Amino acid sequence: MDKRGILDGLTIIDLGTGHAGCVAALLLAEAGADVLRIQPRQWQCPLQPGQAALWNRSKRLLELDLDQIEGRDQLNKQLDNAHLLISDLLPLQASQLGLSNEYLRRGREQLVLVNICGAPGSDLPVDDLLVMAHAGILDEQAAVGREGPVYLRFPLGSWHAAFLAAIGGLLRLRQGHGGVVQTSLLQGALIPLMMHWHETENTSPALQLGMPKSVPPTLFQCADGKWLHVMPDPNRAPEVRQALDALDPQQRSAANAEFAHQPITWFKDRGAMALVFRTRPRDEWLALLQVADVPADKVAAMGELYLDEQACANGYVKEIDTAHGLTLQPAIPLVAEALDAISRWHPPARSAHQDFSKPLLGLNVVDLGAFVAGPLAPMLLADLGAEVIKVEPLNGDPMRVAEWPFNACQRGKRSLALNLKSPSAQVITQRLVEWADVIHHNQRMPAIERLGLGGEALLACKPDLIYCHVSAYGAKGPRRDWPGYDQLFQAASGWESESAGQGNEPTWLRFGMMDHLAGLASVLAVTLALFERDRCGKGQAVSSSLLAASLFTMESPADPEGRLQDFAHLDSGQLGVAPLRRLYPCRHGWIAVAQRPGDEHGLARVLTLAGVSNVQQLTATMAGLSVPEALLLFDDADVPAVEARTDQKQAFLDNPGNRRSGLVVDFPHSRYGRLTLPGGFWHFDDQPSTVGPLPPPLLGEHSRIILEELGFDELQINQWVAQALVYDPGSLGSAELNR
């Protein structure tokens, strides 16, 4: 019998026209759903051929003429049999096509509609460049050799929104009733932007500093001219220490002086490290760093990851026959299996007494993770209604020293500070496992298994448990236990090369998107495991990884030798990829221009209206126009354009409309007074804004109450606190509360 997918029996209609919608439907298709991609003959697909080959695979295709009665009849027939529909049409577009939410759901009360827009309450096109420019997000990355915003070659909003759409749609289906789930490219981009856009009433040195745009990444060129990305601390490698000691002291001091003005240098001898890494070829350094357990990876060309040994060992690369021959394509970046090989998914019965205020109300989650890729997913589960206990060591999650990323993935949780290495902790962890529906973490597996908290052991004790692990390099292969950071996967995937612009040295994007995408993939994996547990009563181990997430962001298949079919490269000025898909500097400002798909004559119209004959002359003309004048010219040419805003953090947080819509949320906080964060990544039409009710916790802030809820008495808890098994700030006096 063929192996079934978890979503076998689920029928989905894909009405997505762009990146986010197509990828959301792909994620569900490869989890077993029957996805029908409807292509109205009136629409021009904005995807490049390579993108379409990747993101529309595993789907059935139906072309319809929606201007004809026959086409409408076929659409209605498909809608009558569908459980979920994904669309990225704006309300006005949908209304003009006769595809409004009201029309689609008429007589179909069980149908779930997932709507992806550019930004909530806005008529912005569903286009990354226009949405990111309008929001000011392009200004959050430092440009190479100039001031002003950067064309983000990585489609930050669409990649995150695709996962949000897939997760939101499945959770509404799991509730057993239809309705509308909305998300947007802006909300997708806000997930990584939470690290940088926040505000507190009472600040701290770490929050004030944050991550300045000017901080240089830890990228180093080696003796063979190739680049690698290293994270703290390369001094652990004996060969690095020896090379440092061999440097002339004055040369070493002068090299370090170049970074003396930087508020963050990542590690000691930052400048001298550049001299050290130029002494050996890259592959030699990578081998030595791996032996010393130093996180590092090569800066690769886009597409090179298709041939990576580790990616292939974990099944992250798929061989797919197409009309153009055999291609290499990325697998979806998660593992979740159908355990029941016979039964198919069917809509759950809806109880009259069921609480639908949040999709995951009643779900218990234990978060054993640290840094970003692990804790992000439990935070999002808390936003969706889950009860989350964050278990951290007595000295806290290592990310606590950097408050800006810590706060961006911790809201909605309660903190239990516990010495997991002590044998005495086992009685507590046993109660936690009994309480939990989900255990989630991103620790290296040998370490977590030594604590008795490996997936195999816990599932043997509790078969209905869902155990989710976010790894760096996957569960198989020679690097399965190697440590990893977001930076390393931006490097290995090719995005550090492509984001810099042609001819420039590689650069890291400070949005940390590989961490966040791996976390989102793990939320989807947990959601799928919940579907399977609902069906057969069994839990399972599910997973995602930074390597899988980074490979999944390829925009083109490769041939068997790893050569990409097509890929648009960013220019050296980091302004764009085409004359009408780029940024233009104006007098006292910037605009972003994004030509409509299929518009073959847009550039000719613009040149004619500007009174010039080529793009170079157009650029000079734009530089002499004010932003309103430039926007008017492109509007007259019927080419979408927006102001590329700068310095928008405070404007976004202060916008009353963002608070009303849930895009900005305030929390009372015992340390910060008031903490303001972006929030509300989904909107369910009949439910409150999806934001966890609690602020990021202080270390051990809830230790005592959690232990009491687990059934331990006050005497026992006091003993554990005295023995330093548990940290309870309240037991140490108010002076220790803000530890």
Catalytically annotated residues: 515
User: DSSP assignment, residue 399?
Assistant: G
For 690, the token pair is: 């999806």
Q: At what angle do helices 513-536 and 185-193 cross, to 10 degrees?
A: 110
Strand partners, 34: 11
CA distance 268 to 261: 14
* Pairwise CA distance, residues 485 & 545, whole Å: 11
Question: Torsion angle of alpha carbons 396, 402, 404, 406, nearest 10°?
Answer: -30
Give the DSSP H or E segment for 683. Answer: strand 683-684
Name the one residue in this structure whose structure tokens are 């309103």.
628
Per DSSP, 140 falls in state G
Cα angle: 521, vertex 524, 530; to 5 degrees: 145
d(CA 15, CA 104): 12
DSSP run (H or E) holding 717: helix 714-722
Contacts of residue 396, defined as CB under 8 A and 6 or more positions apart, other chains included, come to 417, 699
> DSSP per residue over 46-93, as a string?
-S-HHHHHHHTTTSEEEEE-TTSHHHHHHHHHHHHT-SEEEE---HHH
As to burial, measured by CB atoms within 10 angstroms (0-12 exposed, 13-18 middle, 19+ buried), residue 599 is middle
Neighbours of 294 (CB within 10 A): 21
Q: Which residues pair with 587 in a beta bridge?
A: 626
Per DSSP bridges, beta strands 438-441 and 364-367 are parallel
In the three-class reduction of DSSP (H, G, I as helix; E, B as strand; rest coil), residue 673 is classed as strand
Instruction: Look at residue 509 and give its three-state secondary structure.
Output: coil
